[in-house]
Amino acid sequence: MAVVDQYGNEANVIVLAGGLSGPEGQPGVVQSVNGYSQATVVLTKADIGLSNVDNTSDLNKPISNATQTALNLKANDADVVHDTGTETIAGVKTFSSSPIVPTPTTDFQPATKAYADSVRDDAIAFAIALGGA
C-alpha cells in the first residue's frame, strides 16, 4: 500500500491536519510509520498487534466477568420445563392455583371438575330417561 499525500500523490510522507511541525518547516509531515520509513509503507496485522484478528474462533474469544457470571446463573436446558413439547415430569408437584386443562379426548387425560360433573349429570339424566334411579 503506498502512502498518499493530501493531494493524492504517492509520497514518503503523510500530511496531518493540525499544528504539528516537521523537518524543513513542513507542517504535519510524518517521517515514519511504526518503525518503517521507506517511501511505501505496508503494515501487516502483526505490525500493530492484531495477528489473531481474523482467525480467533468465537469459542476462544474472551467474555466479560459480568457475562460469565450471568451465564453461570442460567439454568441448564435439561433442568427446566418448557412451554411446548413432550416432557416427563417426575415427583409430586404442588400448584398454587389450579391448572387449566383442555377437555379430555382420550383415556388417561386430566379433566376439570366441571367436565366430570357434566358427564355425571348426563349419565344420571340418561338413566332416568331409561326408567332407572
In a domain, 76, yes or no: yes
Regarding predicted confidence, which is higher, 53 or 40?
A: 53
pLDDT value of position 18: 47
E strand or H helix that includes residue 69: helix 65-73
Q: Is residue 103 part of a domain?
A: no
Give 80's contacts (C-beta < 8 A, 6+ positions apart).
none
Task: Evaluate whether residue 61 is within a structural domain.
Answer: yes
The predicted model scores a pTM of 0.32
Does some domain include residue 107? no
- What own/partner pairs with CB < 8 Å and gap ≥ 24 does 76-81 have? none
Q: Domain range holding 40?
A: 1-91
**Measuring CA to CA, how many Å separate 89 from each of 21, 107, 110?**
76, 19, 15
Residue with the bigger pLDDT between 24 and 119: it is: 119
In a domain, 118, yes or no: no
pLDDT, tens digit, 9 for 90 and up, residues 74-113: 999 988 999 999 998 899 989 899 888 898 999 899 988 9
Residue 65 predicted with pLDDT over 60: yes
HSE of 82 in the Cβ direction (CA atoms, 13 Å)?
Answer: 8
- Amino acid in the structure at residue 90: A
Tell me how far apart the alpha carbons of residues 3 and 14 are, in angstroms, rounded to a whole number: 7
Count up the domains in the chain and report the number: 1
Residues of the chain with pLDDT > 90, as a percent, come to: 25
Whether 62 is in a domain gets the answer yes
